[in-house]
Amino acid sequence: MTVRVRFAPSPTGSLHLGNALTAVANRSFADGRGGAAMLRIDDTDPTRTLEGGEEAILADLAWLGVSFDEGPMRQSERGALYAEAAATAVGSGGAERDVDGSVRLARDGTTLLRADGSATYQLASVADDLELGITHVIRGSDHRPNLELQQRIARAIGGELPEVLHHGLVLGPDGKKLSKRHGHSSIAELREEGFPARAVRAYLDELDLPEHDVHLDLARLRRLAIDAIAEMSDDDLAAAAEAPAEAVPVLRGARSLVEARGYARMVLEPEPVQLPTDARPTLLRFVELRALGPDRLSSDDSRAILRELKAVGGDLRSLRLALTGASTGPELSAVLSVLDRDDALARARRAIG
Ligand code: GLU
């Protein structure tokens, strides 16, 4: 038996972290067994279909590096299959057709087909899983309550539901349902917060297929972000920070890509600052030392200048402010190596007026 799984999001916009876990879990399950994974967009419910929602999901999946062997297929384009399934269920006595044309499961009354002929999620999902030859349904445990009903629908339309594996949900750090209020709840939010794609993917890979609900471990996610940035090539890091390759030394210590972009701005277009007169001695000494150096300093040269300044009791915080416009930021020696001589001198002189 060849394993066939599906990831079946509703097009409600950027993937919730728990849904992203489902996507990764399906992909890994198929990969581990030489199987295939398909992408199905569950868009039978117009109230859960957001304009641009499918595009947002496709962008999230691409960003996470999750690809599919088939799809995206859309339930909204498969109405004929569902009508046929409903007719089969009526024919077998497993379902009944109402006077208004809607079809309900016999005995419990669950709607399969609405009066307008459109299928409900319950029918569409089961009919698709059977028709697509899905061998394993892997989804969040919030769908556990659907299991028994879907097994009955499968039998009514003449099949058996695939094996179903429910994984634990990703909850907020406080153990409550992860929501926008927590931040970091969707892939779009994590991307905007500057988490590299590889860090988010690594976090989801680590969670694997949790049996029980898990609390989002932000400390772990942040650690993985630091690791992912350390592993990025210079070109990738520069591109992610929207900075030229020469700025990379200042970007290296950033803990997120948002921080890296902030560091890039500090060297590329700092806020101009005016420093009080007590900063003068340090900055004048810096100007003297820097004027003697080459156009670009090696990191050893940069560290030597900082050592020299410290030895005479120099005020390195003022130097940082003068060069970057900020009181905290990247390692100062990296700033010195990235700024060319003219730039460094101009900034120091401007800060003391
Ligand atoms: N469209 C459902 C969801 O987004 C998928 C349910 C399932 O996997 O069966 O939760």
**pLDDT digit string, tens, across residues 114-130:** 999 999 999 999 999 99
Cβ of 8 less than 6 Å from ligand 1 = yes
Residues linked to residue 139 through DSSP beta bridges, in sequence order: 166
Give residue limits of the domains in the chain: 4-171, 267-351
With the most atoms of ligand 1 within 8 angstroms of its CB, the residue from 139, 144, 163, 167 to mutate is: 139
pLDDT for 49 equals 87
171 Cα–ligand 1 center, Å = 18
Distance separating alpha carbons of residues 94 and 112, to the nearest angstrom: 11
Tell whether domain 267-351 is in CATH 3.30.70.20: no
pLDDT, tens digit (0-9, with 9 covering 90-100), for 142-183: 999 999 999 999 999 999 999 999 999 999 999 999 988 888
Average pLDDT over residues 198-203: 98
**Over the stretch 50-97, which tens digit does the pLDDT of each residue have?**
899 999 999 999 999 999 999 999 999 999 999 999 999 999 999 999
* Ligand 1 atom closest to 42 (CA): 1
pLDDT band at 48 (very low <50, low <70, confident <90, very high): confident
Residue with tokens 């009080």: 276
Q: Which two tokens stand for residue 68?
A: 């599919």
Residue in 16, 45, 61, 125 to alter for ligand 1 test, most ligand atoms within 8 A of Cβ: 125
Residue 75 dihedral angles phi and psi, to the nearest 5°: -65, -30
- Mean of the per-residue pLDDT values for the chain? 96
Q: What is the mean pLDDT of residues 339-344?
A: 97
Give the alpha-carbon dihedral of 70, 74, 77, 80, to 10 degrees. 80
Give pLDDT, residue 47.
Answer: 85
User: How does DSSP assign 295-313, residue by residue?
Assistant: SS--HHHHHHHHHHHHHTT
Instruction: Establish whether residue 14 lines the binding site of ligand 1, counting it when its CB lies within 6 angstroms of any ligand atom.
Output: no
Q: Residue 9 Cα, ligand 1 centroid: separation in angstroms?
A: 6
Ligand 1 atom having least distance to the Cα of 125: 9
Q: What spacing in Å lies between the alpha carbon of 183 and ligand 1's midpoint?
A: 23
Q: Is the pLDDT of residue 248 over 90?
A: yes
Q: Is the CB of 252 under 6 A from ligand 1?
A: no
353 has a pLDDT exceeding 90:
no
Amino acid 181: pLDDT:
87
CATH number of 4-171: 3.40.50.620
Q: 42, 211 in Cβ contact below 8 A?
A: no
Share of the chain above pLDDT 90, in %: 96
Share of the chain above pLDDT 70, in %: 100
For ligand 1, whether the C-beta of 143 sits within 6 Å is yes
Which residue's CA is the nearest one to ligand 1's atom 4? Answer: 9
Query: What distances in angstroms separate CA 244 from CA 128, 237, 341, one per listed residue?
Result: 49, 10, 18
The closest alpha carbon to 19, from 28, 32, 27, 8, belongs to 8
- Distance, in Å, from the CA atom of 7 to the CA atom of 15, rounded to the nearest integer, reads 12
CA atoms within 13 A on the CB side of 224: 19
Q: Is the pLDDT of residue 46 over 90?
A: no
**By the 8 A CB rule, do 113 and 90 touch?**
no
**Residue appearing with tokens 């099949």:** 159
Q: Is the pLDDT of residue 314 over 90?
A: yes
pLDDT: which is higher, 190 or 179? 190
**Which string of b and e fits 51-77 if b means at least 16 CB within 10 Å?**
eebbebbebbbebbebebeeebbbbbe
Q: If DSSP codes are grouped into helix, strand and coil, which group holds residue 8?
A: coil
> What pTM, to 2 d.p., does this model score?
0.93
* Distances 252 to 134, 263, 302, 321, 331 between C-alpha atoms, Å: 45, 10, 16, 20, 9
Helices then strands, counting H and E runs in the chain, come out as: 16, 10
Ligand 1: centre distance to CA 165 (Å): 13
Please indicate whether residue 49 or residue 59 has the higher confidence score (pLDDT): 59
> What confidence tier does 299 reach under pLDDT thresholds 50, 70, 90?
very high
**Directed axis angle between helix 316-324 and helix 257-268, to 10°?**
90
Cis peptide leading into 72, omega within 30 of 0?
Answer: yes
Q: Is 128 in the pocket of ligand 1 (CB under 6 A)?
A: no
Mean pLDDT of 183-191: 95
What is the β-pairing status of strands 170-171 and 214-215?
Answer: parallel
Two structure tokens written together for 11:
């097009």
* Segment among 49-53, 151-155, 187-191, 287-291 with least mean pLDDT: 49-53
